[in-house]
Amino acid sequence: MALLEVHDLALGLPLDGRVVRALDGVSFGLDRGRVLGLVGESGSGKTMTALCLMRLLPPAARILGGQVLLDGRDLLALPEREMRAVRGAGLAMIFQEPMTALNPVLTVGRQIAEAVALHRPLGRRAAWERAVAVLGEVGFPDPERRARDYPHQLSGGMRQRAMIAMAISCEPKVLIADEPTTALDVTIQAEILDLLAALRARHGMALLLITHDLGVVAEHADEVAIMYGGRIVEHAATAEVFDHALHPYTQALLRSMPALGRRQERLEAIPGQVPDLRRLPRGCAFHDRCPRAIAECRLAPPPLEEKAPGHRVACIRV
């Protein structure tokens, strides 16, 4: 059994007076020390998946079914009080924009110390020392002094490090990173991703890395799950996805992006628009943009099936 197992997760969101399925049939497992890259475009459901795992959904959202098992315990069945203990020590999450996650009126050291004290029977002094230690671990120079800085006194890259420090302060088993570097410059982005890789190696955390950037997953993920229209459409080891993508959407996505050193006259764009959850096409959500679609694709969403060893694909044409 994997450390984290997600079974058949379905999520309903009220939009324009009716409930749309923002997630459907989402299933995957994640083992200790592994990195799963969750890739998709806007509205594909990658952030919603993360928020389901954390149970930090918007109030109107409803989980319609499925299980989230952490060490065999179903998080979706826990009372909120117990879930609060899981956040931080079981699962922790970092976001794209650190300023939304950090409290602007507390020093970074103080808010990390408070997070630590919530989970551990530590005195103020010991909690503060733990905060300084994790700030040092995420690469804060002179952490003793910088722990007294307020978030606005930090650069974007340092704020992201502070948020990572808070997230790892209670030694979570799974760290969820939602577009952790999208708002950062490319040189800082590389540093933050290298930091996450080092932390994972050091502590054996599992990492769910949510991104739209296939370059980031190629460099940092052990396996990749591609989402489209609220479902996982392909899931395999990273090299397998890049070398032998089977789903037409994954293939098209890989061809549509410019890559360093690969010259092409024209990018192979995917026709049409990224689907709107309110108007998801019937059947396979990709069929109206898919070069290989046939009439049958419109009938029902294809199940995610193992088409090659360890390689799951949701497409009836594969």
Q: Which residues bind another protein (CB under 8 A)?
A: 41-42, 155, 157-158, 185-191, 193-194, 212-216, 218-220, 238-239, 242, 252-254, 256-261, 264, 266-271, 273-274, 276
> Closest approach of Cβ 115 to another protein, in Å?
25
**Is 49 or 238 the residue whose CB approaches another protein more closely?**
238
State how far the Cα of 140 lies from the Cα of 22, in Å rounded to an integer: 38
> Closest approach of Cβ 82 to another protein, in Å?
37
DSSP letters for 172-205: -SEEEEESTTTTS-HHHHHHHHHHHHHHHHHH--
**Is 64 or 190 the residue whose CB approaches another protein more closely?**
190
**Is 291 or 303 the residue whose CB approaches another protein more closely?**
291
State how far the Cα of 223 lies from the Cα of 164, in Å rounded to an integer: 22
**Is 76 or 188 the residue whose CB approaches another protein more closely?**
188
> Closest approach of Cβ 141 to another protein, in Å?
9
Pairing of strands 35-39, 18-30: unpaired
Pairing of strands 311-313, 305-308: antiparallel
**Is 110 or 161 the residue whose CB approaches another protein more closely?**
161
Residues pairing with 5 in the sheet: 29, 69
> Closest approach of Cβ 145 to another protein, in Å?
16
Q: Do 135 and 147 meet the contact criterion of CB atoms below 8 Å apart?
A: yes
> Closest approach of Cβ 38 to another protein, in Å?
15
Distances (CA, A) of 313 to 69, 185, 217: 23, 34, 18
Put the strands of the sheet holding 35-39 in their side by side order. Answer: 91-94, 174-178, 206-211, 35-39, 223-228, 231-237, 311-313, 305-308
**Is 44 or 169 the residue whose CB approaches another protein more closely?**
44
> Closest approach of Cβ 259 to another protein, in Å?
5
State how far the Cα of 169 lies from the Cα of 122, in Å rounded to an integer: 13
